[in-house]
Amino acid sequence: MGRHAVAPAEPRLLIVGVGLIGGSLAAALRAAGFAGEILACDPDAEEITRGVEMGLIERGGTRLSPLLEGVSLVVLAVPVLAMRQVMEEVAAGRERAADDLVITDVGSTKGTIREAAAGVFGRMPANLVLGHPIAGSEKSGVAAADSKLYARHKVILTPEPDTDPEALARVRRLWEATGAEVLEMAVDRHDQVLARTSHLPHLLAFSLVDTLARQDERLEIFRYAAGGFRDFTRIAGSDPVMWRDIFVANRDAVLAALDDFEAGVARLRRAVERGDTDAMLATFDRASHARHYFDSLLNQTSYQAEYQMQAQDRLRYRVRPGGGVTGRIRVPGDKSISHRSIMLGALADGVTEVTGFLEGEDSLATLQAFREMGVAIEGPHQGRVTVHGVGLHGLKAPAGPLYVGNAGTAMRLFAGLLAGQAFDTELTGDASLTKRPMGRVADPLREMGAVIETAEGGRPPLKIRGGQRLRGITYDMPMASAQVKSCLLLAGLYAEGETRVREPAPTRDHTERMLNGFGYEVSREGDTCWLQGGGRLAAAPIDVPSDISSATFFLVAAAITPGADLVLEHVGINPTRIGVINILKAMGADLRLENEREVGGEPVADLHIRYAPLKGIDIPVDQVPLAIDEFPALFVAAANAEGTTRLREAAELRVKESDRLKAMADGLAVLGVENRLYDDGIDIVGHGGEGPSYGGGRIDSLGDHRIAMAFTVAALRASDEIVIDDCANVATSFPGFVALARRVGLSLEEEREAS
């Protein structure tokens, strides 16, 4: 990242245009320890004088050609429409400059500048690297120069295929020295994106302020304007000449953005005229939550497909050894049920009220995706969500790719649901998700008539063509997977005839239960379930139980900690999810189910666990699919059990957010726990007793939330502290984990680690 970069090694730098942008670049380079000479050219001699007095530049002048002597890098920081003239002057004085001269710019539009360069030089020079810092202020002039203007801001470079790699590297170093994050983008894509994110908002701000300023009551309007009005219209104080040039230079992209905006305003106007409260709510809620969701997303995770941003910091856990585990807690709602509650609620007729919704990034990604497909959704507010269903055929085409973050469940279920829509869609996710196999859903969906494109190796993004005629199939799953089963059942809602799925081992049945709860009949006999296409869903309330996968970390914490006595309230105990309970009991855990009941078709109970010595076991093969997400935590239990715990037929763990078999084996080895890894399982040699079972050490979680939480719990029986890197994704499945861990007795600290 830029804040770790050293100053570029350019002997002489020339900034053409020493206003806010050029002056701030000089100030940032000075602050970074730039040792070369900085010159400036500007038509205003007073700006040059002021720049020298401020210590930003050594010297300068109003004529460009004399200043090119020995210059190795030229930065063109002039208005867009002045670029051609300045380039002509550079071309005329090129022989004065250094042999390895590199030229770059800071213009807000790139297409027009590329055309100007081709006109001046005969073609786009290999030593010209077009760039655009996404930073600025309504202030202008070198007096407003700010050495921190670019820190933690984006700079977009738009190199051509034949751009000199060394020239590109030198311009990258220039901007990284200012603390900026440097990205690359095609010229046309840059101009389209900036037209929407920068140029259109400025156009609207200028127009709004001008409209109000010409009204008779303008003084009263501005006197009583609230903070929101001032925040939005602040950018109307920007340089009018500069923005006139930008709108002229990027006319086509700005007009396209304005067309989209005018269409959106027209839709909203019609909703207000008709008193269409659902349409208004859909627009406002979608906008409100998109603003918060994407802001949070871009600050925490990677959004490669659309935004091409990267996380600035990595989160590290530092866990001191020992601690107690006592009390009563309720962990967040079940992620699998939270996903499905939004999906089926959106496809139902009527309004679905959801309580206990998991407000983690994965579930929020599903919620946001349906907002983008036109579904009005209120919340979440303290776990409450209201979904205004649009019916099976009421979804609308999203404006762009649907981003599901790190949620493999969402992507696979969405694939089935979207295969039956009338419109094309693209599903994408974060860097971790784009490595996970999707052929297991794409292949059977293709058998049903879906048209789906995947990236190499059957991986995301998934491009799904709409308007296909789906037909029901009978599918024997080669590997037990609730996600594949659910995907095909959701596609079956849109298929002609019967969709029948046979599973080689029992998997979670939340989809079948919830479909039945919404009045859509799903039948089951033995290992096979089926449904008929063409029905409808009727809205129904959903109370999401606490997630047994999240509860597992605390079950294991209590199971391995002498003196522990813990109650986990309102936990889902769906028969297809209780492998962890069965396995812990088989290992000797003192675990009881209390207050058993059924809520919305899902069985729940309070789980009461006390410490008892554990013993190693051969994990029954029939329990593996019932505990597939819980094994990272169960491996920690095995490390504290007397004897060897053996797991087989769990190859599914190799293709989760990480290769969980290898990640856990490597981490356990760091702690000194003897283990042996197999293609489909692992042997773990545990050490019973009540003292420390292993040492401490530093663990790489590989960005996998379950690996991070498992080794956090492991510290309870360590002899030294455990430091776990790359823990930001814990929020994807378990918001509030750190607070709950501290509440029951773990000594856990969070640290920000610069990446």
pLDDT 10s digits, 420-432: 999 999 999 887 7
The pLDDT assigned to 595 comes to 95
Q: Give the global pTM.
A: 0.61
Decide if pLDDT at 191 tops 60.
yes
The pLDDT assigned to 354 comes to 95
| pLDDT tens-digit readout, 694-729 | 999 999 999 999 999 999 999 999 999 999 999 988
The pLDDT assigned to 205 comes to 84
Percentage of the chain exceeding pLDDT 90: 68
Decide if pLDDT at 493 tops 90.
yes
Decide if pLDDT at 121 tops 80.
yes
What does DSSP say about strands 451-455 and 402-403: parallel, antiparallel, or unpaired? unpaired
The pLDDT assigned to 296 comes to 52
The pLDDT assigned to 435 comes to 85
65 appears as a binding residue in the annotation: no
Could you give the CA distance from residue 657 to residue 436 in angstroms, rounded to a whole number? 7
Residue pair 283/681 in contact by the 8 Å Cβ criterion: no
Decide if pLDDT at 500 tops 60.
yes
What mean pLDDT comes out for the span 579-594? Answer: 97
Q: Which residue has the tokens 């990595």?
A: 314
Q: What is the CA radius of gyration of the chain?
A: 30
What mean pLDDT comes out for the span 567-574? Answer: 95
Could you give the CA distance from residue 377 to residue 361 in angstroms, rounded to a whole number? 16
Residue pair 404/414 in contact by the 8 Å Cβ criterion: yes
Decide if pLDDT at 309 tops 80.
no
The pLDDT assigned to 5 comes to 55
The pLDDT assigned to 368 comes to 87
Decide if pLDDT at 278 tops 90.
no
| 2 band by pLDDT with thresholds 50, 70 and 90 | very low
Decide if pLDDT at 396 tops 90.
yes
The single-letter code of the amino acid at 250 is N
Could you give the CA distance from residue 47 to residue 729 in angstroms, rounded to a whole number? 49
Q: How many CA atoms lie within 13 A of 299 on its CB side?
A: 8
340 appears as a binding residue in the annotation: yes
Reduce the DSSP state of residue 317 to 3 states and report it: strand
Instruction: Pick the range with the lowest mean pLDDT from 166-170, 283-287, 741-745.
Output: 283-287
676 appears as a binding residue in the annotation: no
What mean pLDDT comes out for the span 88-102? Answer: 94
The Cα diameter of the chain in Å comes to: 87
481 appears as a binding residue in the annotation: yes
Decide if pLDDT at 662 tops 60.
yes
| 94 band by pLDDT with thresholds 50, 70 and 90 | very high
The pLDDT assigned to 300 comes to 41
Among the listed residues 623, 629, 622, 676, the one whose alpha carbon sits nearest the alpha carbon of residue 655: 629
615 appears as a binding residue in the annotation: no
Catalytic residue numbers read 629
Q: What angle do CA 573, 579, 581 make, to 5 degrees?
A: 65
What mean pLDDT comes out for the span 354-381? Answer: 88
Decide if pLDDT at 653 tops 70.
yes
Number of Cβ within a 10 Å radius of residue 166: 12
Instruction: For 214-245, give one letter per residue: b (16+ CB within 10 A) or e.
Output: eeeeeeeeeeeeeeeeeeebebbebbeebbeb
What mean pLDDT comes out for the span 69-85? Answer: 93
Token pair, residue 182, equals: 């440097």
What mean pLDDT comes out for the span 370-376? Answer: 90
Torsion of CA 37, 42, 46, 50, to 10 degrees: -30
Could you give the CA distance from residue 346 to residue 286 in angstroms, rounded to a whole number? 14
660 appears as a binding residue in the annotation: yes
Residue pair 708/635 in contact by the 8 Å Cβ criterion: no
Could you give the CA distance from residue 490 to residue 152 in angstroms, rounded to a whole number? 43
| pLDDT tens-digit readout, 510-541 | 999 999 999 999 999 999 999 999 999 999 99
Please name every residue paired with 498 in a beta bridge, in sequence order, or none if there are none.
Answer: 532
| pLDDT tens-digit readout, 450-481 | 999 999 888 999 999 999 999 999 999 998 88
592 appears as a binding residue in the annotation: no
Number of Cβ within a 10 Å radius of residue 580: 27
| 302 band by pLDDT with thresholds 50, 70 and 90 | very low
Could you give the CA distance from residue 667 to residue 658 in angstroms, rounded to a whole number? 13
Q: Which residue has the tokens 């290999």?
A: 126
The pLDDT assigned to 643 comes to 97
The pLDDT assigned to 225 comes to 61
Q: What is the DSSP letter of 96?
A: G
| 306 band by pLDDT with thresholds 50, 70 and 90 | very low
Instruction: For 320-332, give one letter per residue: b (16+ CB within 10 A) or e.
Output: ebbbbbebebebb
Token pair, residue 658, equals: 């990480």
The pLDDT assigned to 202 comes to 86
Residue pair 102/8 in contact by the 8 Å Cβ criterion: no
Instruction: Pick the range with the lowest mean pLDDT from 107-116, 297-306, 500-509.
Output: 297-306
Alpha helices in 37-94 (DSSP H): 45-53, 83-92
The pLDDT assigned to 292 comes to 63
Among the listed residues 83, 72, 47, 84, the one whose alpha carbon sits nearest the alpha carbon of residue 62: 47
Residue pair 358/545 in contact by the 8 Å Cβ criterion: no
Could you give the CA distance from residue 259 to residue 272 in angstroms, rounded to a whole number? 20
436 appears as a binding residue in the annotation: yes
What mean pLDDT comes out for the span 65-74? Answer: 95
Number of helices and strands (H, E) in the chain? 25, 32
| 325 band by pLDDT with thresholds 50, 70 and 90 | very high
Q: What angle do CA 554, 560, 563 make, to 5 degrees?
A: 95
Choice between 298 and 231, residue whose per-residue pLDDT is larger: 231
Could you give the CA distance from residue 691 to residue 712 in angstroms, rounded to a whole number? 17
Could you give the CA distance from residue 654 to residue 402 in angstroms, rounded to a whole number? 26
| pLDDT tens-digit readout, 587-607 | 999 999 999 998 877 899 999
Token pair, residue 732, equals: 């994807």
Q: 317: burial class by Cβ within 10 Å (0-12, 13-18, 19+)? A: buried
Decide if pLDDT at 315 tops 60.
yes
How many angstroms separate the Cα of 84 from the Cα of each of 7, 94, 115, 196? 29, 15, 9, 25
Residues 6+ apart with CB under 8 A from 691: none
Could you give the CA distance from residue 421 to residue 375 in angstroms, rounded to a whole number? 15
646 appears as a binding residue in the annotation: no
List of domains in the chain: 2-185 (3.40.50.720), 193-275 (1.10.3660.10), 317-327+545-754 (3.65.10.10), 359-384+392-537 (3.65.10.10)
Token pair, residue 654, equals: 């190799």
Could you give the CA distance from residue 298 to residue 395 in angstroms, rounded to a whole number? 26
The pLDDT assigned to 400 comes to 83
Could you give the CA distance from residue 465 to residue 418 in angstroms, rounded to a whole number? 9
Decide if pLDDT at 312 tops 90.
no
Could you give the CA distance from residue 709 to residue 392 in angstroms, rounded to a whole number? 38
Q: What is the DSSP letter of 576?
A: T
Token pair, residue 546, equals: 């606490």
Instruction: Please report the beta strands in 583-671, taking only residues with DSSP state E, as ranges in sequence order.
Output: 590-599, 602-610, 643-647
Q: 456: burial class by Cβ within 10 Å (0-12, 13-18, 19+)? A: exposed
Question: Dihedrals φ, ψ of 315, to 5°?
Answer: -100, 135
Decide if pLDDT at 755 tops 60.
no
The pLDDT assigned to 439 comes to 92
Average pLDDT, the chain: 89
Residues 6+ apart with CB under 8 A from 402: 369, 372, 373, 414, 425, 426, 427, 428
Residues 6+ apart with CB under 8 A from 220: none
